[in-house]
């Protein structure tokens, strides 16, 4: 078992279970936070544009009321130039928005002015009225020269009514429109937000915070079509902004409040960066905890695995010794003969040594015979010991044919004494299987022992090996001509503790352990058997399939 791979899988699973929900939650929170921040910014910008539109309307309403008051005074005092000049100068000092006044008669000719001179443009503009719901004629905004400066000014006019309520002329005033820009600049938002005024053609009526000049620069009005609205767009600076607009009631003007999207989302981006830092720290903590827990689990599994391997080793050794006990019953005869001969010749040599007349060469021959016989016995014992040794080196490979030949050196005498003929058909030049020799010996010993027990009255034991290149598998067939296995028991033979032997003669673990060992090696054991009831011959064929890679 690859415990390091298991450790990696446990850590990965622990990290996935812990961090994936956390990452999903963080993503959802940041996404919802971004939405909430946009909604908050949108609401603030909409409110700002609406409030400033109301402020401008109120400012213009006050200026219209001022002009109406002056027109009423003119109706009372008449067109007395001296009086009007004094009064207008006092009004100009009290009401700083006004740059100057002039009075036109019915025909549009100037009859009085506080200005040094009246530009013809003013006279032309005074004739183009734009009716509003306040009853005041609001003229166009244009650049007005005062000294060496040019400032945006608004021309507004109102009728001068006579006693009969008929218009006897017009009172016009120039309003310093920079004051409107000053009102709007008070509402600038943080670093990138600004509020400015444009007309229905997109011309700036107030200077912007970032350099747009009144009556000189323009913005696109493609997205502006209703009384109010909100949208994302590229502003006159080329920056992506969130923009809210509100039409000023009674005037063809729009108050626009906007703020850079980068600044709006800066807070959520900062939160995102903090979330990443916290996520990394959390991942480190989770990884450490996962490493600790996985190490504890793997160590427990290792200990349990080693314990089970030890138990398995003990059971395998027990079954192996039981099988060896059956197969080595013929070894006694093989050992007795050479050892008896060794004893006989040793005694003869001893007696002959006592007789001084015996030639030394004969004694040497006798002793040589003793040595040969003892060596034969040692060889038999060595084969038995080699076969009974066990190793747990999973990385070794084994030659199947050599293992079978070594097995039959041990089992051969037993088979001969039990009148069992052994037939071998071993394919040459086969690759080795990926298994240690001890495991393969345990599997084959058990199957050969079972085959021998099935032929209590003698028979034929067939051993065959062959290599299947397509499957990269070696097949080992162990066939006997014994009594066979009944069909109702055939599917139980690999079940632990199932045995057909008498009580005390078997544990029922031999075939189960052999089958499990073959499966751990990546192979399998298949069986075909007949009891002779439905065919001419009875017998069983076990086929062991083991991979070479």
Burial of 491 (0-12, 13-18, 19+ CB in 10 A): exposed
Residues 244, 339 within the same domain: no
Residues 259, 338 within the same domain: no
Range of the domain at 47: 1-264
In angstroms, rounded to a whole number, what is the distance separating the alpha carbons of residues 529 and 481?
10
User: Does 187 have pLDDT greater than 90?
Assistant: no
Average pLDDT, the chain: 79
Q: Is residue 292 part of a domain?
A: no
28-32, 280-284, 535-539: lowest mean pLDDT where? 535-539
Q: For 447, phi and psi rounded to 5 degrees? A: -70, -40
CATH of the domain at 120: 3.30.450.20
CATH of the domain at 406: 3.30.565.10
Quick one: pLDDT band at residue 196, thresholds 50, 70, 90? very high
Residues 327, 260 within the same domain: no
Q: Is residue 105 part of a domain?
A: yes
Q: Is residue 283 part of a domain?
A: no
In angstroms, rounded to a whole number, what is the distance separating the alpha carbons of residues 255 and 502?
106
Residues 328, 447 within the same domain: yes
Q: Residue 503: its pLDDT value, please?
A: 55
Residues 414, 491 within the same domain: yes
Q: Is residue 14 part of a domain?
A: yes
Q: Residue 131: its pLDDT value, please?
A: 37
Residues 194, 59 within the same domain: yes
Q: Is residue 378 part of a domain?
A: yes
Quick one: pLDDT band at residue 331, thresholds 50, 70, 90? low
- How many C-alpha atoms does 60 have within 13 Å on its Cβ side? 27
pLDDT tens for 370-409 read 766 666 666 666 655 555 554 454 447 889 999 898 888 8
Nearest one of 119, 115, 159 to 140, comparing CA atoms: 119
Nearest one of 146, 76, 67, 133 to 103, comparing CA atoms: 67
270 three-state secondary structure: helix
Residues 250, 328 within the same domain: no
CA–CA–CA angle 340, 345, 348 (5° rounding): 130
Q: Residue 130: its pLDDT value, please?
A: 36
Domain boundary among 204, 234, 264: 264
Residues 449, 357 within the same domain: yes
Residues 255, 396 within the same domain: no
Q: Is residue 189 part of a domain?
A: yes
Q: Residue 454: its pLDDT value, please?
A: 86
Q: Is residue 2 part of a domain?
A: yes
Domain boundary among 243, 264, 285: 264
Residues 180, 249 within the same domain: yes
Q: Is residue 302 part of a domain?
A: no
How many domains are there within the chain?
2
Domain boundary among 264, 281, 296: 264
Q: Residue 165: its pLDDT value, please?
A: 56
């Amino acid at each position: 078992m690859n415990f390091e791979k298991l450790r990696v899988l446990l850590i990965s699973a622990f990290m996935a279970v812990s961090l994936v929900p956390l990452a999903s939650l963080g993503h959802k929170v940041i996404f919802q936070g971004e939405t909430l921040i946009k909604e908050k910014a949108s609401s603030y910008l909409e409110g700002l544009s609406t409030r400033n539109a109301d402020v401008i309307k109120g400012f213009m309403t006050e200026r219209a009321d001022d002009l109406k008051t002056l027109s009423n005074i003119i109706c009372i005092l008449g067109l007395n130039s001296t009086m009007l000049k004094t009064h207008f100068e006092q009004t100009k000092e009290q009401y700083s928005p006004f740059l100057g006044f002039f009075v036109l008669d019915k025909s549009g000719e100037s009859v009085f002015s506080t200005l040094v001179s009246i530009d013809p443009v003013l006279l032309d503009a005074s004739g183009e009225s734009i009716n509003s719901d306040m009853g005041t004629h609001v003229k166009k905004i244009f650049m007005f020269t005062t000294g060496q400066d040019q400032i945006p000014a608004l021309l507004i006019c109102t009728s001068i009514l006579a006693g009969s309520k008929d218009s006897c002329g017009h009172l016009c005033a120039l309003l310093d429109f920079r004051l409107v820009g000053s009102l709007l600049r008070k509402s600038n938002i943080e670093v990138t937000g600004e509020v400015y005024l444009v007309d229905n053609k997109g011309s700036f009526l107030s200077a912007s915070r970032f350099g747009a000049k009144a009556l000189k620069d323009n913005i696109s009005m493609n997205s502006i079509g209703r009384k109010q609205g909100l949208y994302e767009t590229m502003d006159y600076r080329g920056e992506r902004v969130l923009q809210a607009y509100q039409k000023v009631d009674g005037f063809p003007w729009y108050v626009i409040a906007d703020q850079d999207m980068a600044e709006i989302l800066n807070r959520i981006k900062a939160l995102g960066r903090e979330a990443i830092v916290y996520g990394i720290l959390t991942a480190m903590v989770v990884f450490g905890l996962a490493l600790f827990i996985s190490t504890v689990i793997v160590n427990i599994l290792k200990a349990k695995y080693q314990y089970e391997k030890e138990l398995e080793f003990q059971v395998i050794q027990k079954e192996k010794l039981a099988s060896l006990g059956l197969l080595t019953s013929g070894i006694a005869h093989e050992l007795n003969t050479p050892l008896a001969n060794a004893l006989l010749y040793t005694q003869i040599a001893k007696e002959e040594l006592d007789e001084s007349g015996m030639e030394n060469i004969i004694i040497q021959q006798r002793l040589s015979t003793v040595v040969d016989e003892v060596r034969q016995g040692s060889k038999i014992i060595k084969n038995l010991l080699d076969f009974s040794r066990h190793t747990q080196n999973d990385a070794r490979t084994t030659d199947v044919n050599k293992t079978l030949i070594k097995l039959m050196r041990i089992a051969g005498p037993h088979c001969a004494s039990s009148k069992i003929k052994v037939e071998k058909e071993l394919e040459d030049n086969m690759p080795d299987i990926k298994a240690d020799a001890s495991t393969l010996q345990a599997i084959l010993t058990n199957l050969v022992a079972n085959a021998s027990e099935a032929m209590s009255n003698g028979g034929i034991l067939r051993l065959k090996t062959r290599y299947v290149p397509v499957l990269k598998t070696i097949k080992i067939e162990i066939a006997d001509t014994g009594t066979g296995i009944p069909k109702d028991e055939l599917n139980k033979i690999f079940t632990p503790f199932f045995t057909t032997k008498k009580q005390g003669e078997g544990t029922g673990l031999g075939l189960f352990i052999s089958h499990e060992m073959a499966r751990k090696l990546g192979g399998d054991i298949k069986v075909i058997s007949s009891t002779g009831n439905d065919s001419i011959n009875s017998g069983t064929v076990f086929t062991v399939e083991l991979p070479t890679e």
